[in-house]
Chain A
Amino acid sequence: MRHLIDIRDLSEREIADLLDLADDIVANREAYREVCKYKKLATLFFEPSTRTRLSFEAAMYELGGQVLGFSEAASSSASKGESVADTIRVVGCYADIIAMRHPKEGAPMVGAMHSTVPIINAGDGGHNHPTQTLTDLMTIRREKGRLSDFTIGLCGDLKFGRTVHSLIAALSRYENVKFVLISPEELKVPSYIKKDILAEQGLPYVQTTELTDVMPQLDVLYMTRVQRERFFNEEDYLRLKDSYILTPEKLRGAKADLTILHPLPRVNEIDTAIDADPRACYFRQALNGKFVRMALIMTLLGLTKEGQA
């Protein structure tokens, strides 16, 4: 049985197949309306995340399936002290597939070790968020027409931002992708990402604290939120939260075909004046998230447009 715990669980071929399937779903939505009829997805969100949960639920409903689950730990048996292992064993009796978000890093892996149904990691602490990465890859491929030969700027909280870590790991496998890492000193990419992924594979990367200076080089700009919940100290959060705000002025030196991405939710790191700019792709990215999750649910359940694989 397949699970998706880490984006590195998927080969380049498997990612390409998932993105092809997601593109086909976009083009032929009617054909997928009943693919998951009589199947149930459990969304186990031990930590609230409206967007990711709704995206999974919308994906399953759009495939004709049903959804059960909880949206915070307080309304689950975890509040009574049940272990992740036991929760997963029980939910596996009721659902055909599980999407799980948990504040503790590695929790979905523990779930997968005890599960009788496929587990999808819907985010574990500051660690991995593979379905966001699939969403990002789908959006880059649809906007740029390729997953190779471009320069991507990753901006904001690169230390705690799990979407950034997963995206770097995923893009490191494609040809000629250059990374520009833009963050304050306190929120730089962890050294293990630089050592074990970028340096290990001899990939070109630049670190900077200035967004404006590097703007003209970028084909893709991936903005991130400085997340309050990742800080132990409120003072640090308040000092750094406004560090990197994208404004129309900062975009002046940017390429005409720049692709601006953001995993959302946005607080203030992208000025709303940019939303109308055709280069702003973050709401299309959110929509792609639903389609790629549809493709993932189908793939892990072994289903095709025609039925069982």
Chain B
Amino acid sequence: MNIDSIQNGIVIDHIRSGGAMQLYQLLGLDSLDCPVAIIKNAPSDKMGRKDIIKIDSAQPLNLDVLGFVDPDATINVIRDCALVEKKHAGLPERIRDVLRCRNPRCITSVEPDLPQVFQLANRETKTYRCIYCEAKAEK
């Protein structure tokens, strides 16, 4: 299977197998009008199988949620067809407007125009909590 190399954009590699569609949704990639390729179950020496997402756009993307959903994924930044930066997603201090709080008693369930913000509560357990009600973020 051949997928064209991208000129300027991002390749998210080493996504755990089966995780690409969830990331596609959470990263809001459906709203982009550039070419986006999702490769599922690609063979991997390290992981056995992995997913990959290629985004052919120099437009900046908010990738904060990546560290929460799949901290082992790698981000490869491509400029003029060359790899210029390779990094792990890492855990951001805050994740904004990507996840929704699932606590039905949380104020975010009724208050209009309220940003959905989750704060890193425990780096070791990678736990994020809603800043309003402290409910645990769920993937």
Contacts and interface: CB of A to CB of B under 8 A. Distances in A.
> Chain A: interface secondary structure?
mixed
Contacts of B136: 192
A106 B133 contact: yes
A105 B131 CA distance: 10
Chain A interface bracket (under 10, 10 to 19, 20 to 34, 35 or more): 10 to 19
B112 to A, nearest CB: 6
A104 B108 CA distance: 9
A106 B118 CA distance: 13
B105 A103 contact: yes
A195 B122 CA distance: 10
Contacts of B134: 105, 127, 192
> Chain B: interface secondary structure?
loop
A84 B107 contact: yes
A83 B131 contact: no
B110 A196 contact: no
Contacts of A215: none
Interface string B73-85: 0000000000000
Contacts of B110: 104
B111 A105 contact: no
Interface in B72-102: none
A104 B107 contact: yes
Contact of B107 (A110, A126, A195, A196): A110
A106 B122 contact: no
A103 B110 CA distance: 11
B122 A196 contact: yes
Interface residues of B, number: 23
A94 B133 CA distance: 28
B124 to A, nearest CB: 10
Interface in A75-108: 83-85, 102-107
Given A102-B107, A104-B106, A110-B107, A83 B133 contact: no
By CB atoms of chain A within 10 A, which of B103, B109, B133, B136 has the most?
Answer: B133
B133 A125 contact: yes
A122 interface: no
A81 B113 CA distance: 14
B114 interface: yes
A180 interface: no
A104 B136 CA distance: 16
A110 B105 contact: no
Contacts of B132: 105-107, 109-110
A84 B111 contact: yes
Q: List 8 tightest A-B contacts by C-beta distance, closest first.
A: A106-B132, A105-B133, A106-B107, A104-B107, A107-B107, A106-B133, A125-B105, A105-B105
11 contacts: A104-B109, A104-B110, A104-B111, A105-B107, A105-B134, A107-B111, A110-B114, A125-B105, A127-B133, A195-B122, A196-B127
Interface of A: 83-85, 102-107, 109-110, 124-127, 192, 195-196, 200
